[in-house]
């Protein structure tokens, strides 16, 4: 058993170390004043308005519709993430958190780092056959769950008392939001059978590849700027929800409710066990919400996941 854990821990460490390195690079640049106090928010704006939309468009445009025709897996992963997201939002609303901030907390508890960590980890643990479920989970995380959170945040930020006026403002905000427009446009391109090639494809690949690294550097810049810590109790709750509750719920759904094929079930559980990705931090900065809890959740869930994900992989093996 110890040999198995050791064999799983070392590859996971190699995958996660670059995440820490990018966060530390931003942290060091801010602490040494190589980058100024506005660097985090400006870099995050680059991610939100350019890099991430390019990545989302590219993912959706290059994914054939038939690849997404996996209703059982979508139900398992969607209910696992959506259930934790909804439960966290309801708990935070009951604790007098407004809808926008409660939605961010829900995203902290349910948004796995599927693209940056999940794809290489699944390929390493389960081979090329795990690529399809990993891609579907990534799309559901960065497109669907992200979109739901954005809708709730937009609703929570509206101050109009008139329902029609509120809905009108929300719809206008959603239509012009690049994080929603880009994947939808990519989905339409895929459905129409359009192929992105040549210079356009290179442009999207180069710009999209900058999304995760820049978001991690921006997170490090934020951590270097803020001396006060986030609420420890809230951070602990969100980390436990992400690393323990979500994979357990997904495991139950995958193996005991939907009875997925073993490889797909294992992939769903491992992906749900991943630490919180940078998506919640991007939205917290973009919407000018307090990001201390979000940044702490991302950092500590990533550190602790070295143990929890290794245990998860060992248990599934």
Q: Which pLDDT tens digit goes with each residue over 162-185?
A: 667 777 777 787 787 888 889 999
* Residues listed for the chain: 317
| pLDDT at 82 (0 to 100) | 97
Strand partners, 112: 276
- Rounded distance, CA 146 to CA 154, Å? 12
Residue 38, classed as helix, strand or coil, is coil
Q: In angstroms, how far is CA 108 from the centroid of its own chain?
A: 8
pTM: 0.87
- Rounded distance, CA 279 to CA 264, Å? 24
% of the chain residues with pLDDT over 90: 55
Residue 191, classed as helix, strand or coil, is helix
- Rounded distance, CA 45 to CA 288, Å? 11
CA distances from 89 to 1, 48, 52, 149, 238 (A): 38, 23, 25, 10, 11
- Rounded distance, CA 185 to CA 190, Å? 9
- Evaluate whether 223 touches 284 at the Cβ level (below 8 Å): no
Domains and CATH numbers, the chain: 2-316 (1.20.1530.20)
CA distances from 9 to 13, 41, 185, 314, 315 (A): 6, 34, 39, 10, 13
| pLDDT at 158 (0 to 100) | 81
Say how many C-beta atoms besides its own lie within 10 A of residue 155's C-beta. 17
- pLDDT per position as a tens digit, 125-153: 888 888 889 989 988 998 899 999 999 99
Say how many C-beta atoms besides its own lie within 10 A of residue 72's C-beta. 17
- Evaluate whether 144 touches 114 at the Cβ level (below 8 Å): no
| pLDDT at 246 (0 to 100) | 98
| pLDDT at 228 (0 to 100) | 57
| pLDDT at 5 (0 to 100) | 59
Mean pLDDT by 10 residues, the chain (317 residues): 64 83 93 91 92 90 86 97 98 94 96 88 87 89 91 84 72 81 91 89 94 91 73 93 98 97 96 94 89 91 91 89
| pLDDT at 240 (0 to 100) | 98
Q: Which of 221, 208, 236 is nearest to 281 (CA)?
A: 221
- Rounded distance, CA 146 to CA 137, Å? 12
- pLDDT per position as a tens digit, 277-293: 989 999 998 898 988 89
| pLDDT at 1 (0 to 100) | 55
């Amino acid at each position: 058993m110890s040999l198995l854990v050791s064999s799983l821990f070392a590859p996971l460490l190699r995958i996660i170390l670059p995440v820490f390195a990018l966060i530390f690079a931003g942290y060091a640049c801010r602490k040494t004043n190589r980058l100024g106090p506005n660097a985090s928010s400006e870099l995050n704006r680059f991610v939100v308005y350019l890099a991430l939309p390019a990545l989302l468009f590219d993912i959706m445009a290059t994914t054939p519709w038939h690849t997404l025709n996996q209703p059982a897996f979508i139900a398992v992963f969607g209910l696992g993430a959506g259930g934790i997201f909804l439960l966290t939002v309801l708990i935070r609303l009951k604790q007098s958190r407004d809808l926008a901030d409660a939605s961010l907390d829900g995203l902290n508890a349910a948004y796995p780092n599927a693209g940056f960590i999940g794809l290489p980890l699944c390929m390493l643990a389960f081979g090329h056959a795990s690529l399809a479920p990993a891609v579907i989970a990534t799309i559901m995380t960065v497109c669907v769950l992200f979109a739901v959170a954005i809708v709730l945040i937009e609703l929570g930020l509206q101050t109009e008392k008139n329902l029609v006026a509120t809905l009108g403002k929300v719809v206008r905000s959603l239509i012009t939001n690049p994080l929603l427009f880009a994947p939808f446009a990519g989905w339409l391109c895929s459905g129409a059978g359009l192929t992105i090639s040549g210079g356009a494809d290179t442009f999207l690949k180069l710009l999209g590849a900058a999304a995760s690294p820049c978001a991690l550097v921006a997170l490090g810049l934020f951590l270097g700027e803020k001396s006060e810590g986030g609420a420890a109790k809230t951070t602990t709750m969100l980390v436990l929800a992400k690393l323990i509750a979500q994979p357990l719920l997904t495991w139950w759904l995958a193996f005991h409710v939907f009875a997925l094929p073993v490889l797909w079930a294992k992939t769903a559980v491992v992906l749900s066990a991943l630490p919180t990705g940078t998506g919640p931090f991007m939205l917290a900065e973009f919407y000018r919400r307090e990001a201390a809890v979000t940044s702490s959740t991302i950092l500590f869930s990533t550190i602790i996941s070295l143990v929890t994900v290794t245990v998860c992989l060992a248990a599934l093996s």
